[in-house]
Amino acid sequence: MRVAVIDYSLCKPTKCNLECIRFCPVNRSRRSSKAIEIDSNTGKPVIYENVCIGCNICVKKCPYNALEIENLPDELSKLAIHRYGKNGFKLFGLPVPKKGEVLGIIGKNGIGKTTTIRILAGELIPNFGDKERKASENEVLERFRGTELFEYFQKVYSKKIKVAHKIQYVELVPRYLSGKVSTLLEKADERGIAIKLASELGLSPVLERDVKNISGGELQKILIVATLSKKADLYIFDEPSSFLDVRERIRIASLIRELVPKESYSIVIEHDIALLDYLSDNIVVMYGEPGVYGVASKTYSTRSGINHFLDGYLPAENMRIRKEPIRFHVSEAPPQRHGGKSNEIYIEWRDFTISLDGFRLDVKPGSASKGEVIGILGPNGIGKTTFVKKLVSMISEDRPEDEEIKFSYKPQYVSPEIFEKKTVEENLINANPQSLSTGTWAYEDIVRPFGLYKLREREVSELSGGELQKLALAVSLIKDAELYLLDEPSAYLDVEERLSVAKVIRRLTESRSVAAFVVEHDLSIIDYICSRIMVFEGKPGEHGFANSPMELREGMNKFLKILDITFRRDPSTGRPRINKKDSYNDREQKRIGEYYYIPKGEENLSEKP
């Protein structure tokens, strides 16, 4: 079976020489049937999958990288669920929600996760891969007769399942809604808990504001409150952690676990694997090729599903989804620095204070050495970005010209105005002349995984928010710098992209003996790459306090103690896992003061004084 996809937003047949048609071996053989030709109605090419031989010559010849062709096992054809038009994305298989359990979905962006939950919510009727006809609800029921999904869809289509859906893109809300936050929450409230929940999440100061005048994090919390306030049978949370700091993420996760009715269905899509692990009872892995096709795996237990995802191999499907497994370091000491330069300090600062618009940040002295990554942890509004900007000014202004450090800075908020050049290609080449050359680390590790090579001719002003974030991060990482300052690098990225970026950051600092500061809310990423961390504490918006950099275990212990949560290590992958509140591990680790994880050789907690 073959899936051929054309991205018509990239395809420009009037500007190319129709290489896809001219070089196709089926077309050149002068058979009666062509594999690809121009559609007379649209003026764009169409690939006929039943004629195409899957040689991928057209894919390589397309000057705009608009074509993708994947050869798939024939068995998948029986699992076809939905297709978006001719040569569009194709979805195979559906997860099975279970009453009283939280189903977590993990996978890349563009792999069909949002399409999947729209089908399960009854918002989209699947066409089972036949893009020419519109399927009916009766056909859906007939297709799933005799399966677990039959009874589920029967309830959905008979309106016996009411859906409460927290959408992915919270920034779209102000475009469609207006009015005071309190008024909107009262309209959504069916359980009489909205205002109380809003207060618990720190939203009291914004209740009288117009929804158009609040931040992304506040919008996220408002939508979660509105969703939890509904009397529903199916609760869907699409990326509930976006825009939130660590403390808020844990609080949101606890509220979802606590307030979703036990007799309801629940689905969560999340890229923070520690949070997804904490929230979910079962996991479905979505795999495939982003923008081309997606496949829903069988249902795994939470631990097994996430571990299989990190291993890159799904045993139930006998499918390898990644070349190399992802492993977290579990050493208590920082990673070994290369070149014998571990004591060579790049930047050093004394204690100082910053006052800004009624906010004060007190910073303790510290330094950054070659070959290390320093993570920056703390709640929103505590001064993390203020500190990073101060470092930039110190590097730029406080050193003589012959001692200047080359640095690369990725700001927290990204807009077209921050880029120096007009197009994606110009910005990438300006940052690194070899960034678009196949085989270079910049292309293979950053540009290609982010899909930026497809957008090379697009103007920066035309990019979406997620595409802008990827471009800003790519431009920052591919620069030849000695110090990298990255403010929330995982924003808008999926799990694999986050871990890919984390791997690049760690490789850069260790192999080149450079240093990096990373402001991040995803604790799995901090754990994966950082040798030391700075913990910021205080009262958000009023007074922040930045501690000196500490070794990873000491810093994480301090930070997690502030949050009152504990972590344990997964024995297979080494990834951090959040202990359920008041569980045996949670109680015992708090008792002995080991909030981060229990050091090897000290696993027998009961013998610890």
Beta bridge partners, 409, equal 485
Torsion, CA 74, CA 78, CA 84, CA 86, rounded to 10: 50
Label residue 136 exposed, middle or buried (CB < 10 Å: 0-12, 13-18, 19+). Answer: exposed
Q: Contact at 8 Å (CB) between 530 and 518? A: yes
- Residue 104: pLDDT band (50, 70, 90) is very high
**Torsional sign, CA 304, 310, 315, 321:** positive
For the cut 70, the answer to whether the pLDDT of residue 603 exceeds it is no
Question: What pLDDT, on a 0 to 100 scale, did the predictor assign at position 231?
Answer: 93
Distance from the Cα of residue 80 to its chain's centroid: 26
Could you give the count of Cα atoms lying within 13 Å of 354 in the half-sphere of its Cβ? 20
Question: What pLDDT, on a 0 to 100 scale, did the predictor assign at position 401?
Answer: 55
The CA distance from 270 to 280, in Å, is: 10
The pTM assigned to this predicted structure is: 0.85
The boundaries of every CATH 3.30.70.20 domain in the chain are: 2-71
- Return the exposure string of 110-132: e unless at least 16 CB atoms fall within 10 Å of the residue's CB, then b: bbbbbbbbbbbbbeebbbbbeee
The boundaries of every CATH 3.40.50.300 domain in the chain are: 85-320, 347-568
Q: Is 84 left (phi over 0), alpha (psi -120 to 50) or beta?
A: beta
- Return the exposure string of 240-277: e unless at least 16 CB atoms fall within 10 Å of the residue's CB, then b: bbbbbbbbbbbbbbebbbebbeeebbbbbbbbbbbbbb
For the cut 50, the answer to whether the pLDDT of residue 503 exceeds it is yes
Angstrom distances, CA of residue 534 to CA of 274, 481, 540, 585, 587: 20, 22, 16, 26, 26
Q: Which tens digit of pLDDT belongs to each residue from 225-243?
A: 999 999 999 999 998 988 8
- Report the CATH architecture of 85-320: 3-Layer(aba) Sandwich (3.40)
Question: What pLDDT, on a 0 to 100 scale, did the predictor assign at position 609?
Answer: 40
The CA distance from 348 to 129, in Å, is: 59
- Residue 336: pLDDT band (50, 70, 90) is very low
* Count of C-beta atoms within a 10 Å radius of residue 134: 9
For every residue of 463-508, DSSP letters joined together read --HHHHHHHHHHHHHHS--SEEEEESTTTT--HHHHHHHHHHHHHH
Nearest in space to 126 (alpha carbons), one of 138, 114, 112, 140: 140
Q: Which tens digit of pLDDT belongs to each residue from 250-264?
A: 889 989 989 999 899
The CA distance from 605 to 609, in Å, is: 9
- Residue 293: pLDDT band (50, 70, 90) is very high
- Residue 396: pLDDT band (50, 70, 90) is low
The CA distance from 527 to 556, in Å, is: 9
For the cut 90, the answer to whether the pLDDT of residue 347 exceeds it is no
- Return the exposure string of 446-468: e unless at least 16 CB atoms fall within 10 Å of the residue's CB, then b: bbebbbbbbbbebebeebeebbb
Question: What pLDDT, on a 0 to 100 scale, did the predictor assign at position 236?
Answer: 94
**Torsional sign, CA 397, 398, 401, 402:** negative
568, two tokens: 């344990």
Question: What pLDDT, on a 0 to 100 scale, did the predictor assign at position 335?
Answer: 43
Distance from the Cα of residue 361 to its chain's centroid: 30
The CA distance from 183 to 186, in Å, is: 5
- Residue 395: pLDDT band (50, 70, 90) is low
Q: Which tens digit of pLDDT belongs to each residue from 459-477?
A: 998 887 788 889 999 999 9
Three-state DSSP state, 346 = strand
Beta bridge partners, 282, equal 103, 301
446, two tokens: 């950053």
- Average pLDDT value over all residues in the chain: 87
Q: Contact at 8 Å (CB) between 267 and 235? A: yes
For the cut 50, the answer to whether the pLDDT of residue 80 exceeds it is yes
For the cut 70, the answer to whether the pLDDT of residue 356 exceeds it is yes
388, two tokens: 């990073």
Question: What pLDDT, on a 0 to 100 scale, did the predictor assign at position 398?
Answer: 53
Q: Which tens digit of pLDDT belongs to each residue from 363-378?
A: 999 998 888 999 999 8
Query: Which residues, other chains included, contact 508 with Cβ-Cβ below 8 Å and sequence gap of 6+?
Result: 477, 484, 514, 516
For the cut 50, the answer to whether the pLDDT of residue 413 exceeds it is yes
φ and ψ of 85, to 5 deg: 70, 180
Percent of the chain with pLDDT over 70: 94
Query: Which residues, other chains included, contact 112 with Cβ-Cβ below 8 Å and sequence gap of 6+?
Result: 89, 91, 286, 288, 293, 294, 296
**Torsional sign, CA 517, 522, 527, 528:** negative
Class of domain 347-568: alpha beta
Question: What pLDDT, on a 0 to 100 scale, did the predictor assign at position 334?
Answer: 43
Q: Which tens digit of pLDDT belongs to each residue from 531-578?
A: 899 999 998 888 999 999 999 889 999 999 988 889 988 888 888 889
User: Domain 2-71 carries which CATH code?
Assistant: 3.30.70.20
Q: Which tens digit of pLDDT belongs to each residue from 120-133?
A: 999 999 999 887 77
Nearest in space to 384 (alpha carbons), one of 209, 507, 526: 526
Tell me which amino acid residue 145 is. Answer: R
Region 478-499: mean pLDDT is: 87
